[in-house]
Amino acid sequence: MNDEDFMRAALQLARNAEGRTSPNPLVGAVIVRDGRIIAAGWHRKAGTPHAEVHALRMAGELAKGATLYVTLEPCAHYGRTGPCAKAVAEAGIRRVVIGMKDPNPLVAGKGIRILEDAGVEVVCGVLAAEAIQLNEVFLKWIGNKMPFVILKTAMTLDGKIATAAGESQWITNEASRRRVHEYRDCYDGILAGIGTVLADDPSLTTRLPDREGKNPVRIIVDSQARTPLNAKVVTDGQSRTIIAVTAQAPAERVRALQAAGVEVLTAGGGAHVDLRVLLQQLGQQEICSILVEGGGQVNFSLLADGLVDKVCAFIAPKLIGGRDALTPVEGAGFAHLSEAVELERITTELLAGDILLTGYPKK
């Protein structure tokens, strides 16, 4: 095995904590001696020991003279835990192989310097592209305190999200729906528009058949505070709910929602919620990722404002037609093809007959 093989093992370990480390990054580490892995660890939750510490504890005295593979530069600062770079050096690790530098200003090369000053050989950038993708959420949030936005759609082959009569359950199959709940389990928040709440009264929670999932924070874009007080997102107590309104929302409705136990954020003073302002407010609350399960208007507004970081489109092999049937992206639309949002880094996956297309809008 070579450096890439061991780094790949560390990357796989890091994914064990998907959806659990926010606002911290996902990090995995393995310690190698005489060509074999003798210890491993991953960061499990913010405020708990980092991946390197778990691996060092497992290795014990065998860490001396060994090589550490870690997906992200070891931290160099005192936060909820101590600096990992110092612990690695003190353990006698001879060589450290790093997937990528940590962009956090509190680290940003300082961890590498601590190691090198201690005489540790450092190699950085092994499987860097994979390490970057692993922490795409963290990189977006730590860079500008804005959440990473994933736009999820589910549609027929002819681009419909419901029939002309409004029927939408179920367009996609069970495998696709399970994947959506896995997404909900991974991301910090889930965003929907008031139209979705009024039409479907969704719970927007995570339901996995074989394990207990993590419910995301529910964010409802509702400019006039029309969310019913008996809506599930208000009454079920399954997760925190945020209602985003504008300054024009009737004060008595806002007070009623607050009295019912939901948080109300004012984002903008116009007729519609300013989505950029809303995302900034959510980022300040350490909501680092948001899964958008909105209607066509919310989806278009996010795309038009350049606020979408990733698109996950589930496509069912069905054709329902209908001039009045809803589509995933509506609103005013783009007048010219040159303005259309184009995706890159496309991947496709077959889910029991449905197609999942994933891509990133070109910036």
The residues annotated with a catalytic role in the active site are 52
Residue with tokens 């709440």: 197
Neighbouring-strand partners of residue 32: 37, 67
Quickly count: other Cβ atoms within 10 Å of residue 208's Cβ: 13
Amino acid letter at 220? I
**Nearest-5° angle of CA 191, CA 194, CA 199?**
110
Residue 152: name the closest of 189, 109, 123, 207 by CA: 189
| Residue ranges of E strands in 231-270 | 241-245, 263-266
DSSP structure class, residue 15 = G
Residue with tokens 């090369």: 109
Sequence-separated (6 or more) residues with CB below 8 Å from residue 154: 161, 171, 172, 176, 180, 313, 314, 316
Spatial separation of the C-alpha atoms in residues 226 and 6, rounded to whole Å: 53
Is residue 316 packed enough to be buried (19+ CB in 10 Å), middle (13-18) or exposed (0-12)? Answer: buried
Q: How many residues does the chain have?
A: 363
DSSP structure class, residue 337 = G
| Residue ranges of E strands in 213-342 | 217-221, 241-245, 263-266, 289-292, 310-316
Report the phi/psi class of residue 225: left, alpha or beta, with left for phi > 0 and alpha for psi in -120 to 50.
left
Residue 159: name the closest of 355, 308, 359 by CA: 355
Q: Classify strands 354-361 and 310-316 as parallel, antiparallel or unpaired.
A: antiparallel
**Nearest-5° angle of CA 66, CA 71, CA 73?**
85
Radius of gyration of the chain (CA): 23
Spatial separation of the C-alpha atoms in residues 56 and 30, rounded to whole Å: 9
